[in-house]
Structure 1
Amino acid sequence: MKLSEFNRLDDDQARAVFNQCCGASRWVRLMVAAKPFPSKIAMQDAAAWLWKSMQAADYLEAFDGHPKIGDADLLKKKYRRTRAMLTREQSGVAQASDQVLRELAQYNHDYETKFGYIFIVCATGKTAAEMLQLIKTRISHQPDREITIAAAEQAKIMALRLDQLIEAE
């Protein structure tokens, strides 16, 4: 959709678009309040700036809007509205061996047990093996460091999704 079309959406419609980018309700509410945007760059800048003002509870709410890396069944069920986008983002998992998928599943479980939320990574362009290496590294982090990294990954995901959903004029 063109930016001019987006700017004409009512608040509920704009909220639905932003919810596809990030599940943090406070971020979505602030983005809706910030419209209209004079340019796509201004929208991206606002998204990044507002994300930096979020707190841990906002991060956790956003993280809850993601399926586990490689969880194809959950993609089909819970995330119907954004399935195409999520499938594209996680396309590197489609070619993974059964061994890599089993390890990813185990590390996902261990990560969630340790941190209380799923492993968040901007999966676009990454293979399953690369994501497995990332989770193996990140699981050793302290919780305060890891939530900061996960939040930065969420910011990358939001930027990519906004870029895909909104066209410049």
Structure 2
Amino acid sequence: MSLDNLNNTTLEQAKHSFMQCCTSSQWVNAMAIARPFSSIESMLKHADAVWDKLNESDYLEAFEGHPQIGNVNTLRAKYANTKALASGEQSAVQEASDQVLHALAKGNTDYLNKFGFIFIVCATGKTASQMLALLEARLPNNRATELANAAEEQRKIFQLRLEKLV
């Protein structure tokens, strides 16, 4: 889709497109209403500005748009079932050893139990071992710090997806 097509599509179609980038309904609505964008850069800048004004419940809604990693089988399957815009973001996990996959699955469960939301990381270009190291480094954080970390990772993800969108 081109930026021109996104700018000229219906409101509902635009919402559907933006929902593929981030599942916060407040963010999606604000992005769809803000059209037309004069450039990709202005769209990306606006996306960040909207994100910065959202609250915790909006962030949690966005996090819920990511599949939860509950066990090794779902970890392996997670990346095969992502949408086209998410393709390639976490492909390094497919090449991970069973030991790393088990540690990631356990770490994700520990993270969810501690913080009440799933571990979010912009995985583009990262190996499973690197993601595991990031997860282990973030587990000792308090909830407020981790909410901010996760929100920043979500921002990186939607920025990449917006660029793929147009």
Would you say same fold, with TM above 0.5? yes
Q: Deviations over 1:65-112 (max 9, x none)?
A: 012367243556xxx5x4333341110101100000000000000000
Judge conservation of contact 2:24–2:62 (CA < 8 Å) in 1: yes
Secondary structure of the structure 2 residue equivalent to 1:132: helix
Instruction: Specify which of 71, 74, 81 is matched with residue 75 of structure 2.
Output: 71
Aligned length: 162
Secondary structure of the structure 2 residue equivalent to 1:21: coil
1-structure distance, mates of 2:76, 2:87:
8
Name the CA shift for 1:140/1:66 in 2 (closer, same or farther; >3 Å): same
Secondary structure of the structure 2 residue equivalent to 1:94: helix
C-alpha root-mean-square deviation of aligned residues, in Å?
A: 1.4
Task: Give TM-score scaled by structure 2 length.
Answer: 0.93
Judge conservation of contact 2:48–2:155 (CA < 8 Å) in 1: yes
Task: Give TM-score scaled by structure 1 length.
Answer: 0.91
Equivalent residue number for residue 57 of structure 1: 57
1-structure distance, mates of 2:152, 2:14:
23
Name the CA shift for 1:49/1:60 in 2 (closer, same or farther; >3 Å): same
Judge conservation of contact 1:67–1:75 (CA < 8 Å) in 2: no
Secondary structure of the structure 1 residue equivalent to 2:58: helix
Name the CA shift for 1:99/1:124 in 2 (closer, same or farther; >3 Å): same
2-structure distance, mates of 1:40, 1:74:
29
Name the CA shift for 1:132/1:94 in 2 (closer, same or farther; >3 Å): same
Name the CA shift for 1:74/1:95 in 2 (closer, same or farther; >3 Å): closer
Secondary structure of the structure 2 residue equivalent to 1:120: coil
Equivalent residue number for residue 117 of structure 1: 117
Give unmatched runs, 5+ long, in structure 1: none
Secondary structure of the structure 1 residue equivalent to 2:122: coil
Judge conservation of contact 1:100–1:129 (CA < 8 Å) in 2: yes
2-structure distance, mates of 1:74, 1:160:
19
2-structure distance, mates of 1:12, 1:72:
33
Q: Does 1:86 align with 2:65?
A: no
2-structure distance, mates of 1:101, 1:86:
20
Give unmatched runs, 5+ long, in structure 2: none
Give 1:13 shift.
0.4
2-structure distance, mates of 1:74, 1:129:
16
Equivalent residue number for residue 14 of structure 1: 14
Judge conservation of contact 2:119–2:135 (CA < 8 Å) in 1: yes
Judge conservation of contact 1:44–1:162 (CA < 8 Å) in 2: yes
Judge conservation of contact 2:93–2:128 (CA < 8 Å) in 1: yes
Identity rate of aligned residues, in percent? 47
Alignment of 1:90-169 (within 5 A): 90-166=90-166
